[in-house]
Structure 1
Amino acid sequence: MPNIKSLIKKDLIINGEQIETEKYTTLYAPYSGEAIAEIASATGIETEQAITAAYKARETMASMPAWKRAEILETAAQLLKDRTEEASSIIALEAAKPLNTARQEVARTVETYKFAAEEAKRIHGETIPLDAARSGENKLAYTVREPIGVVGAITPFNFPMNLVAHKVGPAIASGNTIVLKPASQTPLSSFFIAELFEEAGLPAGVLNVITGSGRIVGDQLVTDERVSMITFTGSPAVGIGIRNKAGLKKVTLELGSNAAVIIDQHTALDQIASRCVTGAFSNQGQVCISLQRIYVHEKVYEEFVEKLIIETKKLVLGDPLCSETNISALISPEETKRALSWIKEAVKSGAKLVTGGEVEGTVLQPTILLEAGQSMKVSCQEVFAPIVIVNKVTTIEEAIEKVNDSRYGLQAGIYTNDVQTALTAADQLHVGGVMINDIPTFRVDHMPYGGVKESGTGREGLKYAIEEMTEMKLVVWSRQ
């Protein structure tokens, strides 16, 4: 566990310097409620300074050779690996993420920066055969990819290191500068990472960390013409607002979901039930691709539900800083109250509560609901809490229809032993990613990741994020 006294006051990081502000807000641990830090609250003045610093540093980054960008990313990854326990404790403290889960996030973050370092060396264009057109004879053409400039990154609380890495990593790899606004509840992770990048040799002004009101900092990033791109992970309502204000800026949006899995008959239910518990309740269900809806073939429905309940009851609730803990507090008391109200609404409307549904101390028990209607909030909205619904279906076609009956479309999964069924699901599920014989919560950090409908636009995953963060330029030579 880190020395909390060293985290009492955190200033903004602008142009490589710590900048004090007039106002600071107190940060509280979600599990214990204890005050853990005083966090600088930026105004429009400090936000302007951060954008100016990033704008001035953009030429330094654009001219930095690929090997140097890769070296900085590799060094930062190694520094983070060396301080895994400290980083994990910071995440567990500020986000109430169970310590073992926090360690997994740190390990993934190390990999993400390593992938970014590798991709920094693979940014390239292609040659174009202009002589395929009559007027293209005696001409040579090729494309290059150039950094876009200043990237405004707005990140969420649920993966405070790895989702930051998915924005900062590709931005640095592609020669851009960044103004980072982390979630208000989890700024300590971003300050920690910024300090590691300074140690790794990242030039001043390339990574600026601004904490404060989203309405002030976020809006200024979105509307300032010097910011060339906004990359945002968060709620659809905020994402749609960003898209409407951004004008001609590039915008990548990773938004919400109510991810679903289909379970066909003749599948290995013991293994599937355990995997579904992981997908539904990891990080208290506060994952964009958390398993929220399960559609089970009627022939195995009762057996599956029984096994799911057994596996769920094995979970240990408690202090996130304890290695034995599987489930801890939601990010805020308000979120706990909201989740409880959704459970009560579902039960009142006819859903069956078979386990959970209550709060132990500050921890909401992992909750399973059966027979929840498609219009209930626990089904049609993003629950972002340890709640999963399980419904019976008579055919896979019916299950696919129910999965698609959603405003979201991030990822979905299907368990089946039938190849044709798997291929049909892959074709017909209207989502950004289909996981065959796995939960929709599966993600590795170099795969293309993103959704359709209200789940967002654009793709993350290092190679794909770099494509979003660069502009293509065409060069044509006329042979004399």
Structure 2
Amino acid sequence: MTTHPLFLAGAEVTTPSTFRHRNTYDHQDLGEVCLAGRNDAAAALSAASHARSRMARLSSGARESVLRRVAEQIHARQEELAHIITAETGKPVSLSRGEVQRSVSTFEIAAEEAKRNVGEVVALDTLPSSEGRLGLVKRFPRGAVVAITPFNFPINLVAHKVAPAIAAGCPVILKPAPQAVLTALMLGRILAGLGLPEGAFSILPCANDVAESLVRDDRAAVVSFTGSARVGWQLAAVAGRKRLLLELGGNAAVIVEPDADLEVAAQRIVTGAFANAGQVCIKVQRVFAHEKIADKLLARLLELTARVGVGDPAHEDVLVGPLIDEAAALRVESWVQEAVRQGANVLCGGARDGQFYRPTWLTDVPETTKVCCEEVFGPVTVFARYHDFEAALAAANSSEFGLQAGVFTRSLPLALQAFETLEVGGVILNDVPTYRVDQMPYGGIKGSGLGREGPKYAIEAFTEPRLLVIKT
């Protein structure tokens, strides 16, 4: 049986504690994965502390070179990585390929940003007493980054933490999701051959209490976490004075106006609602359609949903694979049942088969039900009608989350009104909130987190400004 070592201070290490890793769809054995304990976590932090000055001294050219070589090697192994992602997480292979390609882009963007980590000149001679003075501002790496990533984008969300850390000159300790460790460990094998300083990176599959010890430790300077709101805010409470980046999901809304291209809207909404079984933090969870076009739009959504491929994620025509485990499918099932008990109507789907849940549309759903007010993280979407645009905006804002929202309209005034009014990190015009490219500032407000990802913005979070005052 294959044993997969972890990476401690850049070197492969086997540990006595392991867990059996299995294919999400067919449960075939994927080998034993080594688990880090508290001593391993402490050793990784110690190594990162020792590597801090060497990482900070790497030239921007050296950082750029490392990041470009990572991108090249991921590109060369993209098919292998895509199939590992599909085996580990049940993500349909076509979506896995797209994710791998995005991770190449993320490392390439970070490579460019490594050369642009520039400061500014500040005029200080604004008072007679400051004549002859000039301020120079430069950004310096904060130190070790503790990165914790989820299963649903196991290479690109890792890239969004590891690549900016390297670009900023920070050591990084990655705790990958237990369901997606092999993808992260393959990235570790790529990094290990690139000549980074010893201690520049560790990849530690570990239990949650060990991950919490990393977050609590004062030797870590930054915590970058993507995952559930419950866990994210728990970690924030114990992180102390560290810089925090939290991407915590949402229950994204789409608003469709009468002047929208309904065919484009319907096709994008169905993809945004059900791709990867809805296990996307910016999936379409709530659709608000103007009453003038609601019936027509809903009929088309149901037609398109009936054609969605459900099944073996290794098949090219599948969009909806299994949920990550049966417990997740049972939770989705219970949330839909709760909504039905409170008056919701199931228009299609609403059925579970083991780890699978059929793509589901609900109407007449009370706002207090979990499928409306919490993150469903599954293939379930709520459809509602509205009379006026202001009411739709208010309904979209009626959420503890605020990650992204989509608005379909040809009206520039309405688009700008949505931009000014919606309480989210990003408003996507004439597309679904599921849209993301990797250079954009990505993150949310309210319960959806703190800070922004995207290499440029993560580098800003991983560094801090320092002022030099010069008297001529």
Q: TM-score range, shorter-chain basis?
A: over 0.9
Residue 149 of structure 2 aligns to which amino acid in structure 1?
T
User: Residue 187 of structure 2: which of 193, 197, 216 is its match?
Assistant: 193
- Asked whether the equivalents of residues 371 and 392 of structure 1 are also in contact (C-alpha less than 8 Å), the reply is no
* Bigger mean CA offset, 323-332 vs 446-455: 323-332
The 5 Å alignment of 1:467-478 reads: 467-478=460-471
Match of 1:227 in 2: 220
User: Distance in 1 between the 2:91 and 2:287 partners?
Assistant: 24
Counterpart among 1, 6, 10 of residue 12 in structure 1: 6
Matches within 5 A, 1:221-260: 221-260=214-253
Q: State the distance in 2 between where 1:277 and 1:46 align.
A: 44
**Of 100, 103, 126, which aligns to 1:106?**
100
Q: Is residue 49 from structure 1 mapped to residue 43 from structure 2 by the alignment?
A: yes
* RMSD (CA atoms): 1.1
- 1:212, distance to aligned residue in structure 2 (A): 1.3
Name the amino acid aligned to 1:328.
Answer: G
Identity %: 41
Matched, 1:213 2:204: no
Give how far 1:199 is off.
2.4
How do 1:82-93 and structure 2 match up within 5 A? Answer: 82-93=76-87
2:331 is matched with 338
Q: In structure 1, what residue type is equivalent to 2:266?
A: A
Structure 1: state its 5+ residue gaps.
Answer: none
Say which SS state the counterpart of residue 297 (structure 2) adopts.
Answer: helix
1:312-331: CA deviation from partner (whole Å, max 9, x where unpaired): 11111111112222110001
The equivalences for 1:404-415 within 5 A come to 404-415=397-408
2:322 pairs with 321, 329, 332, which one?
329
CA distance in 1, matches of 2:334, 2:19: 29
Q: Corresponding residue for 1:148?
A: 142
Task: Give the whole-Å Cα distance in 1 for the aligned partners of 2:444 and 2:41.
Answer: 30
Structure 1 position 361, deviation (Å): 5.4
TM-score by length of 1: 0.97
Give the Cα separation in 2 of the matches to 1:361 and 1:408: 29
- Could you say what secondary structure the match of 2:178 adopts? coil
CA contact (8 A) 1:277 1:312 kept: yes
Q: Which amino acid aligns with 2:234?
A: G
Give yes or no for contact 2:324–2:355 (8 Å, CA) kept in 1. no
Q: CA offset at residue 160 of structure 1?
A: 0.4
Aligned 1:304-383 pairs, distance under 5 A: 304-360=297-353, 362-383=355-376
- Please state whether the residue corresponding to 1:474 is helix, strand or coil: strand
- Matched to 1:59, the amino acid is S
Task: Write the deviation string for residues 125-161 of structure 1: whole angstroms up to 9, x where unpaired.
Answer: 0001000133221112110001111000011111000
Residue 110 of structure 2 corresponds to which residue in structure 1?
Answer: 116
Shift in Å at residue 10 of structure 1?
1.2
Letter of the structure 1 residue corresponding to residue 339 of structure 2: A
Provide the secondary structure at the position in 2 that maps to 1:132: coil
Residues 146-188 of structure 1, C-alpha deviation per residue, up to 9 Å, x if partnerless? 1111000011111000000000000000100001000111111
Measure the CA separation in 2 of the matches of 1:312 and 1:144. Answer: 52
Q: How does 1:454-473 map to 2 (within 5 A)?
A: 454-473=447-466
Partner SS, residue 185 of structure 1 = helix
TM-score, normalization by structure 2: 0.98
Instruction: Say how many residue pairs are matched.
Output: 472
Q: How does 1:280-291 map to 2 (within 5 A)?
A: 280-291=273-284
Contact 1:57 1:177 in 2 (8 A): yes
Please point out which of 50, 56, 75 is paired with 1:81. 75
CA deviation string 1:103-143 (max 9, x = no partner): 00000000000000000000010001000133221112110
1:300 to 293, 296, 306: 293
State how far apart, in whole Å, the 1-side matches of 2:313 and 2:171 are: 34
Q: Which runs of 5+ in 2 are unaligned?
A: none
Q: In the alignment, is residue 181 of structure 1 matched against residue 175 of structure 2?
A: yes
For 1:322 and 1:430, how far apart are their aligned partners in 2?
38
**What amino acid is aligned across from residue 284 of structure 2 in structure 1?**
L
